[in-house]
Amino acid sequence: MKWNELHSDACPVARGLSVIGDRWTMMIVRECFLGVRRFDEMQARLGITRHVLADRLRKLEADGVLHREAYQDRPLRYEYRLTAKGKALHPVLVTLIDWANVHVPGDQESSITLLNRRTQTPLTPVLIDVETGDEITHLSVTPLGS
C-alpha cells in the first residue's frame, strides 16, 4: 500500500499515521504547542530545509491540523496556528514525550519536562477511560476488529 493511500484505510492507526506519521510532522506540531508560529523561527529551531518545512505545513493545513493567518502584508507572511483538530493532538504529544523520556533516554537531560501548571511539579500522564475512571493499559483494553 502506498503512503498516500493510508488516509482512507479502515485501520485508525494507518489513517492517523497518514497525517502525523513522517519524522517532521510531530516536531512541527510540537513547535506550535510551544508557541512557535512563524516559518523562519520553525525552520531555525528545527534545522529543517525550507522545502520540507513548506511541504509539511501545506500538508498539515490541508489535513486541517493547522491554519494560516497573515501577520504581514508586504511581503505577505503567515503564521501557523493549531486548529481544534491540531489541539486534539496534545495528548499524543504529551504521551510521546513521557514515553521517550522513560524508554528512549538521550545522552543529555531531556529538553522537555512536563509540569503541572497549577503546582509546577513534574507530572506523569495517565490515560483514563472517561466513563469508568479506570486507567487504560494494554491489559485493560480489548480492541474490536483486526
Q: In this model, does residue 17 exceed pLDDT 70?
A: yes
DSSP track, 31-44? HHHTT--BHHHHHH
pLDDT band of 3, cuts 50, 70, 90:
low
Q: What is the pLDDT of residues 49-68, one digit of tens each?
A: 999 999 999 999 999 999 99
Q: Any idea which of 15-19, 77-81, 128-132, 139-143 has the lowest mean pLDDT? A: 15-19
Amino acid at 66: L
Q: For residue 74, give the C-alpha cell.
A: 508586504
DSSP-derived 3-state class of residue 35: coil
Per-residue model confidence (pLDDT) at position 11: 78
CA dist 27 and 85 (Å) reads 16
Please say whether the beta carbons of 70 and 58 come within 8 A: no
Residue 69's pLDDT band (cuts 50, 70, 90): very high
74 pLDDT exceeds 60?
Answer: yes
* Mean pLDDT of the 105-115 span: 86
Other beta carbons less than 10 A from residue 30's beta carbon: 17
Name the CATH code of domain 3-83 (choices 3.90.1150.10, 1.10.10.10, 1.10.1740.10, 2.30.40.10).
1.10.10.10
> Quick one: pLDDT at residue 44?
97
**pTM of the full structure:** 0.86
Q: Which amino acid is at 24?
A: W
**What percent of the chain shows pLDDT beyond 90?**
73
For residue 122, what are the β-bridge partners?
115
